[in-house]
């Protein structure tokens, strides 16, 4: 007992049942773990951003023809577009503006809104009214 008392400090500060030095050590460990987690998150988010940029915003225009190695040579073109191809730009945004995730889907949301309005007009027309029940 005497050896233990000689090696330990006579003054301990206690807070809510824990020694201050153990609380400081726990704080240091938690700060270190938080730093490690933030580092991993920043690395993962930068990788995801790169993949997103490379996949959807390429700097070169891509060819819209698809090579089908197993298709038959005498196969007729699609019925609705017999002698034309559909071309869609993969870069609808200016390369000089910063990318905005919500702005990318704004045309899609507007299209859905217009479709809902068109359906509402037809839904409330007399052709869709239920016959009166007797």
Low-confidence residues in the chain, pLDDT < 70: 1-2, 4-18, 55-99, 122-123, 125-134
**Predicted confidence (pLDDT) per residue in 67-103, tens digit:** 455 554 445 444 554 555 555 555 555 556 666 777 7
What are the structural domain ranges in the chain? 2-60+88-124
Q: How far is CA 126 from each of CA 46, 49, 97, 122, rounded to the nearest angstrom?
A: 55, 51, 48, 9
**Close Cβ partners of 53 (under 8 Å, ≥ 6 residues apart):** 99
Task: Give bridge partners of residue 15 from the DSSP assignment.
Answer: 18
Number of C-alpha atoms within 13 angstroms, CB side, residue 133? 0
What pTM was estimated for this model as a whole?
0.32
């Amino acid at each position: 007992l005497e050896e233990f008392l000689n090696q330990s400090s006579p003054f301990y500060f206690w807070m809510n049942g824990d020694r201050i030095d153990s609380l400081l050590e726990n704080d240091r460990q938690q700060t270190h773990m938080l730093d490690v987690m933030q580092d991993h998150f920043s690395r993962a988010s930068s990788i995801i951003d790169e993949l997103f940029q490379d996949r959807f915003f390429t700097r070169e225009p891509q060819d819209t023809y698809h090579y089908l190695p197993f298709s038959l040579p005498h196969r007729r073109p699609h019925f609705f577009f017999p002698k034309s191809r559909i071309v869609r730009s993969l870069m609808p945004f200016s390369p000089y503006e910063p990318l905005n995730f919500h702005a990318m889907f704004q045309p899609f949301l507007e299209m859905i809104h217009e479709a809902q309005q068109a359906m509402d007009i037809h839904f409330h027309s007399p052709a869709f009214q239920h016959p009166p029940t007797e």
